[in-house]
Structure 1
C-alpha cells in the first residue's frame, strides 16, 4: 500500500470537503463526515486544518481558483472580442461538475450567514478571491466594465437556474435567447450565438416542466 504524503492527504481532504460542503453547506456539514469520506480520523484532519472554517475556506478558495484558471486558459491567445465566448464556454464546461456549482451557492449563503452574525473573516477571505476572479475576467474582456458585468450576471443566472434543477429544455432557459452573450463592439465581427445550456445537476431533461 502506497503511503500518502501530508500534502497529498491535504489535497484529498480539500476534495472531500468540496463534496460534503456542496451537499450540506457550511453549518450542515460536520468535519466528522469529511474525515470519514477521506478515511482519516478527526484528530488527523485537525492536524492539517486548524478548524472547520479554515477547511471551508480552503474548499471555497480551490473552487474559485479552478474557475479562474479555466477561464484564463480559455482566453490565452484570444482577443478581447473573442474572450467573452471563450470564457462562457469554459464556464459551461465547469458546470458539468455539479459540486462546483453547488459549492458556489453554499459559499454565498455561508458568507451572508456569517456576516449577519458579526463574523467577517469568512466574507473577507471569499471577497478577496472573488475580486481576483472579477479582475481576471475584466482584463480578459478589455477592461470593459459593462461587458464584465454582463458576463458575471449571465453566469449567476445560470447558477440559479441550474441549482434550482431546471432541466436543459425547460422554458425558463428561453430567456437566454433574448440576452446577447457578448455586446456589440465597433468594428467587431458578427456576434456568435449563445452557448449550449448546461444540464441541471441531478435532473431528468426528458420532462420540460420538471
Structure 2
C-alpha cells in the first residue's frame, strides 16, 4: 500500500513472501500434518506420556496452525520420537501415518529445513537484496511452485542487475520499473565539478573526468 501512496515501487518483504509460499505448501499437506498432530496429542495423554518418558527425554510438540515454524518443529520432533513410539499399541497404530504419508512427510520436512535456513539468513546485518534473490532462486529451483510467491518481478529483477553492476543488461520492463530512481550523474556532479576542479587541470583531463561520469550506472 505504501508503494501505491507514494507512487514508487518497493521491494516486498522477503519474510512475508516466504511465509505465503510456505503456507500454501502446508495447506497442500494438511491431511498428512493432521495425522502427525493426532499422534502428538495422543502421546500427551497420561498413559502414553508415561510410557514415552521411559524411552526418551524428548517431549511432544503440538502444532500451532498460525505459524509455519511450529509445523516444522512438530514434524521434526515426530520423526525424532518415531523410534520410541509403540507401534503395537492399537490406539497409536490407528493414528500413525501410513507408508505413503510418511514418505510425503519426510519430503516435507526436508523442504521445511531448506526454508528455515533461508528464513533466518535475511536477519543478518550484511544481507542485501542480491543475497535474498539468490536464496529465493535456489528455493524455486528445488520447489518450482514457490515461483508464484518468490518470483522475480521487473522491479526486483532490475534492482538485482543494478547491484551486480549490469545496468547495460536491463530489459525495457525493468528500466520502466526503475525509472523513478534514475539519476543523471553528469547533472548531479557537474556543478561541484566546476567549483572544485583544479584550475591547473588540462582540457583533456576534464574531458576524461566527464567520460568517467558518463560511464557511471544511472541508478
* TM value normalised by structure 1: 0.30
* TM value normalised by structure 2: 0.29
Which has the higher Rg, Structure 1 or Structure 2?
2
